[in-house]
Amino acid sequence: MKKLALLLLLLICSFPVPAMAAAQIKVYVAEFAVTGAPNKDELKVMLQTLLASRLNGERLLVVDPPAAAEVVVSGSYAGIGKSFSLDALVKNSSGTVMTRAFTQGESQEELLAAVGKLAQNLTEGILGAQPAPPLPPTDIVRKEVVPVPASDIIKAQPMEKVGATGWISQRLDGVMVAMVAGKTLENGDKELYIADKHSLKLYRLGKDLTLVCEVALQKQENILAIDTADLDGDGVQELYVTIQTLELLTSQVWQVKGNTFVRLAEKLPYFFRGIALAGGEKKIYVQQMGRDADFYGDVFELVKVGDKYELKNPLKLPRFAFLYNFNQFTDGAGRLYFVVLHENGYLLVYNKEGEELWRSNDKYGGSEVYFIRDDLANVRITGDPYRWIYLEQRIVVTKEGEIIVPQNSSDWAVGKVRSYRKSTVCSLGWNGSSLEEKWHTRESQNYLADFSYDQEKKELILLQVVKREGIFSKGASAVAIKKVE
C-alpha cells in the first residue's frame, strides 16, 4: 500500500507542467500522523497521497523529496468515534509557519470531501502568504462610468476607489445566524439584534459593541431569521423571530422592556421577513408552510390589531420567488419590477406581469441557514429521508433604486451541507435592459451571515462568521461596518 501510494505521488509530480510552472510554488506533503484509526499505517500514506493530488495544480507543484520543496505540509488525522478531524500545518523552508487549516466529518464516507476541503483551505493559505500587491485603502470599489468613445476600441479605465477602511467589533462567541438593526438612539448609537440558533441578543452599537441583554430559547426551537418593526405604532419596536420546532413553524414576537426580553406572542405559523419594497417603508411580510410545499401560498403583509395579528394585502410573486429571495424596484418612468434570487444563485428580473426580462451570469447570495422536512417520497432517489431548504440572503433596494445583495463564494459541499469562505456586497442598477454593477466591497475572507444597510448614514453593517464551529470550538462571529462614499 505504501509503495503504491508513493508511486502515485511520483507520477503526479512527473506530469508535464505548463509553461507558467516557473511561477508555481513547490510543495512537499509529509505522511500524516494518525490516531484513533485501526488501519493507521495504510491511512497515513493514503491521506498523504490524496492531499498531494488535490494540492497539485496550476499554482502549486507537489515535489519529492522534501529538500526540493519551498513549503512543507504536515498533517494529522484524529478519529473520535465515527467522527474524524483533519489538521494541517504549512511551514516554509526556513521553518516559519505560513498557514494552518482543519476540517472534520461525521463518518468515513465524508473523508474524500474533507480532504478536498482541506486542500482548498491550504491552497488559499499558501497563496495568501505570498507577497501580494498592497490592498486598496478603501472598502468600496465603485465602477467607473466610461464615456462612449469615437473609436470602436474601448480601453479599460482604472477603478475609482472610495470609502473609509471601516470598523470591526470584538469577537462574539458562537456562530451567529441573523442580525437586524433596531432604532437609533438620541446619542447616535444604534440597536442591533443578533441571534444564534437558540438565543436572542440585543447590542448597543456605538464606539464599541456592548451587550445589553439576551434570552435563551428552548433547544428544540431553531431560529431561522429575525426582523424588527413597530406594527402597533407605540414607538417601541417588536422583534419578529422565525422559529422551526420539529418541522413546524412556531414563530414568536419579542420586545425589550428596560433591559429584559419579553415575549409578546408565540406559536405563530409564519415565516417573517422585513422588506422595504422598492425602497419604501419597511413592513413585516409573512408566508406559511404547507403540508407538501415549503413556502405555501401568497406573501401577505402582517398587521397588528390590538393583541392579535392579521394578514392583508396578498402579494403574488413571479416564478422561483418566495418570501426570502425577492424585492421590488422601479425605473425612471415608475415601472415596477421584481428582482429574485434563484436557488442556484442567479439574479432574475421580472416585470409586474411575471415575464422574465433578464438573468445574471454571475452568482449572488449564498446562505448556510436552512431547515429540514421529511421527504420519504424521494428517499429512493436522493438517499436522504429529509429535504434541506435554504433561506436566501436579503435583497435591499434603496430609495434611489440601487439593488444591494451579498455574494458569498468559495463554497464546498458535503452532501447537502454548504460552507462559504469569502464574501462581498454588491450594488447594481437597472439600465432598462439589464442590471449593471455600481460598486462592490473589497472581498472579505469570512462568510457573511446577514447584513443591514443604513441609507441615511450610507453604511453597511455586516454580520460575519470569523471562525467555524468545530468539535472542540463553538466558533466566533463579528460585526463590521463599511462606509459607502
CB contact at 8 A, 43 and 32: yes
Task: State the alpha helices, DSSP H only, in 244-356.
Answer: none
Q: Which helix (H) or strand (E) holds 118?
A: helix 111-128
Using DSSP bridges, classify how beta strands 178-184 and 209-216 pair: parallel, antiparallel or unpaired: unpaired
If you average pLDDT over every residue of the chain, what do you get? 86
> Rounded CA gap, 93 and 332, in Å?
60
CB contact at 8 A, 256 and 215: no
- pTM, entire model: 0.69
Residue 151 binned pLDDT confidence (cut-offs 50, 70, 90): very low
CA distances from 123 to 25, 61, 130, 448, 485 (A): 10, 11, 11, 21, 34
Which region among 24-33, 275-284, 319-328, 378-387 has the lowest average model confidence (pLDDT)?
378-387
What's the distance, Cα to Cα, between the start and end of the chain in Å? 60
Cβ burial of 167 (10 Å; 0-12, 13-18, 19+) is middle
Dihedrals φ, ψ of 155, to 5°? Answer: -85, 140
pLDDT digits (tens, 9 = 90+) for 456-485: 999 999 999 999 888 778 899 999 999 997
Please confirm whether the linkage preceding 65 is cis (ω < 30° from 0): yes
The packing angle between helices 111-128 and 40-55, to 10°, is: 50
pLDDT digits (tens, 9 = 90+) for 210-223: 999 999 999 999 99
> Rounded CA gap, 374 and 12, in Å?
44
Contacts of 68 (CB under 8 A, 6+ apart): 26, 28
pLDDT over 60 at 405, yes or no? yes
Tell me what pLDDT residue 169 has.
94
